[in-house]
Structure 1
Amino acid sequence: MRRLLLAAVICGAAQGAYAADMPDDLPFLRGSQPPSLSTVRTVWQGFYVGGQASYGSADMDFKNSGKELLERLLNNIDVEGQYHLSTWPLGGTSSNRNSGFGGFLGYNVQMEDVVFGVEANYIHGKFFGSSSGSQGRSFSYPTDYLTSAFVRSSASMQVTDFGSLRLRGGYSFGCFLPYAFVGMAMGRADIQRNANYNLYYQYVGTQVPPLPDLSGSGSLSDNANAHFIYGYAAGLGIDMMIFDGLFLRAEWEFLRFTAPVDTVVNTVRAGVGYRF
């Protein structure tokens, strides 16, 4: 019995000495969480950069593309003041699909699971469209005259570069970040426009001798290469962190440009980025 008690005392003393010699910073002694659990909460914080590929469509409305040119051509002509020839819709719409590539650069601020930030986004691609149209009408104007008016407009547009400066907001589900954004759309386009008119004044009165018939015409062109276009942007996307700062992206973006040719660009993108 004495031997068992002596052995127990010796083992207890040895165990206490061993515990006293162990380092204080071992995880199971200080009782803290593993570092990975705490850093997940700010996984999206900081600067990031990436590349992307896109595919989409551009819908261009040419109906008012010649309005400005016709206004200049018909300035101070009475029939324009009466019947507003320059506002007649000419041409139609054009839709084009194409692919592109580009990049993005931004900065995120993360507060708990809420993420917001700013981003510059760029795509190089080619969207082309063209259209032309004409109208002709006759009026009993001015007095004792029958006036026939013909106007025509043609235009083409090629968008070569476009992008957006965005404000982003999202909610983090660990390694997944769904987000939405709004911002300013910017782009560069080559735009060619032409407009012309013809007027014929036929005397239909009874004066003897009759008054003379009259006519008039004019044409004006405008070629704007690398023309700056702007508008607004909106869209949705999701980023997925796959490895310590490296993430994948899927996104849809809507752009509308208020250029001489009203243009809407819809694209879907796939990209890869890195957060520093």
Structure 2
Amino acid sequence: MLGTVSAAHAADMPDLPILRGGFTDGLSKSSVNWQGGYVGGQAGYGASDEHFNGSNKTMLDTLLDHNVIQQMDVANWNLGLGGQSTRSSGYGAFFGYNGQWDDVVLGLEVSYLHGSFGGTSQASKELVSGSALSDGFFHDVKVTSSAGISISDMATFRGRAAYAWGCFLPYVFGGFALGKADISRTVLVEDAVSATILGPFTRLQPLSATDTVHNHMIYGYTAGLGVDVNLVGGLFARAEWEYIRFTTNIDTSINTVRAGLGYKF
């Protein structure tokens, strides 16, 4: 009889290796306490995709306002700036706070990454008017357009939803994104005139416009998923994928994969 006492279980509990009186943590599948604040460092690698189409149209409209060559519909020329994709690495940090209810973990987090994401594009188009314009001359017009963006710092403010499973904490997140960028846009219009379509053409003074801003604050949104893995005590490792989109004059999307190491207090 004394030998069987150690295997006794409470009658109304599942097959747990403890008595009811000593069981206080519920039936959680996780033995890790994710509740509380945490901080960590991270490194990432990813691709940025820039869409330049239409980014300089407003500048060109302003530059050619009341100019006779607008009769050639120059402002609507398809200059073929198109899109660019570049790859870069970065490093940064993250911190946040988790609240835990059994296996469900909800939290808020700020994630920061420093790197060099962005790209540039340049295109040109030249066309001779098929007939004399209202000034009585044929015009040979060439437009060169360029645009570029360089994003050095990104911060995302996220809401996280996670589910604790053993030592793993898979999660999804979404939120608001801020970035610091250098943005440059340039338009150059060269015009030459002739009394006949065969020339010779006399080159006129070119027209140009440049818009350059440094350390410009850009805005967007973020979404992604990842997993935290408890290593020992409060120490955990992280693997994550994040998507960020900035909707500026130059539409930019950034995809990164990241690895990190953090500590929960």
The structure whose Rg is larger is 1
Flag the 1:70–1:252 CA change in 2: closer, same or farther, 3 A: same
**Equivalent AA in structure 2 for residue 178 of structure 1:** P
The equivalent residue for 2:217 is 228
Deviations 1:39-73 (A, max 9, x none): 95772222211111111122223333322321221
2:26–2:102 Cα contact (<8 Å) kept: no
Tell me the SS of whatever aligns to 2:231.
strand
Task: Name the Cα RMSD after superposition.
Answer: 3.0
The equivalent residue for 1:166 is 158
Of 145, 152, 161, the residue aligned with 1:153 is 145
Give the CA deviation at 1:98.
Answer: 1.9
Flag the 1:35–1:234 CA change in 2: closer, same or farther, 3 A: closer
The equivalent residue for 1:19 is none
Matched, 1:245 2:237: no
Distance 1:183 1:81 in 2: 46
The equivalent residue for 2:125 is 135
The equivalent residue for 1:100 is 90
Distance 1:63 1:79 in 2: 22
The equivalent residue for 1:259 is 248
The equivalent residue for 2:171 is 179
**Equivalent AA in structure 2 for residue 104 of structure 1:** F
Distance 2:19 2:40 in 1: 42
1:66–1:90 Cα contact (<8 Å) kept: no
Deviations 1:114-163 (A, max 9, x none): 22222111001112422210112344474566444322112332221112
Question: What residue ranges of structure 1 are gaps of 5+ in the alignment?
Answer: 1-27, 206-212
- Higher fraction of helix: 1
2:41–2:262 Cα contact (<8 Å) kept: yes
Distance 1:180 1:52 in 2: 17
Matched, 1:124 2:114: yes
1:170–1:178 Cα contact (<8 Å) kept: yes
TM-score, normalised on structure 1? 0.75
Distance 2:29 2:52 in 1: 53
Flag the 1:61–1:29 CA change in 2: closer, same or farther, 3 A: closer
Distance 2:245 2:132 in 1: 41
Flag the 1:167–1:81 CA change in 2: closer, same or farther, 3 A: farther
Give the CA deviation at 1:195.
Answer: 0.7
The equivalent residue for 2:4 is none
1:202–1:214 Cα contact (<8 Å) kept: no
Distance 2:66 2:158 in 1: 44
TM-score, normalised on structure 2? 0.78
**Equivalent AA in structure 1 for residue 152 of structure 2:** T
Give the length in aligned residue pairs: 242
1:90–1:153 Cα contact (<8 Å) kept: no
The equivalent residue for 1:218 is 207
Distance 1:102 1:96 in 2: 20
Distance 2:194 2:80 in 1: 25
Give the CA deviation at 1:176.
Answer: 1.2
Distance 2:33 2:66 in 1: 65
Distance 2:128 2:162 in 1: 59
**Equivalent AA in structure 1 for residue 125 of structure 2:** Q
Flag the 1:173–1:80 CA change in 2: closer, same or farther, 3 A: farther
